[in-house]
Amino acid sequence: MAAIEMRNIVKEYGDGFKAVNDVSLDIADGEFMILVGPSGCGKSTLLRMIVGLEDITSGDMVIGGDRVNDKAPRDRNLSMVFQNYALYPHLTVFENIAFPLRLQKGIAEDEIRRRVREAAEMLELNEHLDRKPANLSGGQRQRVAMGRAIVRSVNAFLFDEPLSNLDAKLRGQMRTEISRMQRRLGTTTVYVTHDQTEAMTLGDRVAVLRRGFLQQVASPRELYEQPVNMFVAGFIGSPPMNFLPAVVDGDRLKLPLFSVGLPAAARGRVADGQLLIAGLRPDHFEDARLLDSAKRERGAVFRARVDVTEWLGDSQYAYIPFEAGEVTKQLAELAAELDSEALRTQLVVSIDAMSRLRENHEGE
């Protein structure tokens, strides 16, 4: 096991395009780190630079205290699990899992058998050891790929969207298994996904990337409650956060349909009359008619026309159109309450800060 340290990592392709731009990230020994972001943000490129499948244009990649920039993949002692599993079709499950041990040379047959059986047991593959990959389900193939990764002791496991070929139910199951396995083995793990449910449920910490730039590295809870910018705020959470224009009016914040007390976190940091973007999670809206009067008075009550509703069984979303945009809220009712306490941590970024952010992102 080992810590992974990335210092100012850049990946520039031939045409001068930077797929990864000045990323510095420390992954602790034994930590489960998620790399997440929309398609093309550079997360796979970063993972491939850790494992050595992609050259690093500049910066330092340090694994277990060793700078590995110029080391071949086989000398980095890492295990990678790919999206397409990359199993050998002509080999049995047993031989697929045993493969990395056979490559190491000099490991006794008894020891190989013991380790393969141990890995297969952890992944409930014991009954399938004699089968070929073609005769396995997608979930079983995925387990074989994981078996091959965990069969030897390595510095870290690297996963590149390992669940994206599975159906939703199996994905949920495998998520739990990966999480359990990682905790049991305690091996440093870097896991790439564009699925925010995986990002929020699997990792100790999540690194959010956008267009090659690292946006925020934090625990899932911190990302949700204290996003550093509008991109992270809008990317994490489903349905996404609502962004509404707001203006500071003394100790209050005026939004298009209602006003609330200025959130504590913003006091002293904003000027009277300043324009802001307020971020509100859909679950911060409630049906005012269902609340007791004390709670009702704490929030801002406004009337709204519900445009479209979506029923999901355990929850329901309503879309409320109005001049300045659209609000998504849970529960389809005509009156809604906004709890100003709930708004406190959700004030995202001022327009000034946004323009600075834009400069950092090359005029985007």
Count residues binding ligand ATP (CB under 6 A): 12
**x-or-dash string of contact with ligand ATP, 18-57, rule CB under 6 A:** -x-----------------x-xxxxxxx------------
Two structure tokens written together for 271: 């000027």
Which range of residues in 13-21, 108-116, 169-177, 235-243 is near ligand ATP by CB under 6 A?
13-21
For the beta carbon of residue 148, count every other beta carbon within 10 angstroms: 25
Distance of closest approach, residue 9 Cβ to ligand ATP, in angstroms: 12
41 vs 98, beta carbon nearer ligand ATP: 41
16 vs 273, beta carbon nearer ligand ATP: 16
Distance of closest approach, residue 217 Cβ to ligand ATP, in angstroms: 16
36 vs 255, beta carbon nearer ligand ATP: 36
d(C-alpha 173, C-alpha 181), whole Å: 12
Q: Strand 252-254 and strand 259-261: pairing?
A: antiparallel
Distance of closest approach, residue 85 Cβ to ligand ATP, in angstroms: 16
Which residue shows structure tokens 């309450």? 337
**x-or-dash string of contact with ligand ATP, 177-216, rule CB under 6 A:** -----------------x----------------------
d(C-alpha 139, C-alpha 21), whole Å: 35
Distance of closest approach, residue 312 Cβ to ligand ATP, in angstroms: 26
Distance of closest approach, residue 168 Cβ to ligand ATP, in angstroms: 18
d(C-alpha 232, C-alpha 320), whole Å: 23
Coil, strand, or helix at residue 253? strand
Distance of closest approach, residue 84 Cβ to ligand ATP, in angstroms: 12
Distance of closest approach, residue 161 Cβ to ligand ATP, in angstroms: 7
Comparing every residue's Cβ against ligand ATP, the nearest one is 44
Q: 216-249 as b/e, with b when 16 or more CB fall inside 10 Å?
A: bbbebeebbeebbbbbbbebbbeeebbbbebbbe
d(C-alpha 86, C-alpha 358), whole Å: 40
d(C-alpha 321, C-alpha 308), whole Å: 9
Helix axes 138-150, 93-104, angle to 10 degrees: 20
41 vs 112, beta carbon nearer ligand ATP: 41
**x-or-dash string of contact with ligand ATP, 274-303, rule CB under 6 A:** ------------------------------
Q: Which of 13, 88, 102, 351 binds ligand ATP (CB under 6 A)?
A: 13
d(C-alpha 12, C-alpha 49), whole Å: 12
Q: Does 88 bind ligand ATP (CB under 6 A)?
A: no
Distance of closest approach, residue 43 Cβ to ligand ATP, in angstroms: 4
Distance of closest approach, residue 154 Cβ to ligand ATP, in angstroms: 22
17 vs 311, beta carbon nearer ligand ATP: 17
Q: What is the DSSP string of 194-228?
A: S-HHHHHHH-SEEEEEETTEEEEEE-HHHHHHS-S
Sequence-separated (6 or more) residues with CB below 8 Å from residue 160: 44, 47, 48, 80, 81, 82, 83, 192
The answer, yes or no, to whether the previous bond of 239 is cis (omega within 30 of 0) is yes
Q: List interacting residues with ligand ATP (CB under 6 A).
A: 13, 17, 19, 37, 39-45, 194
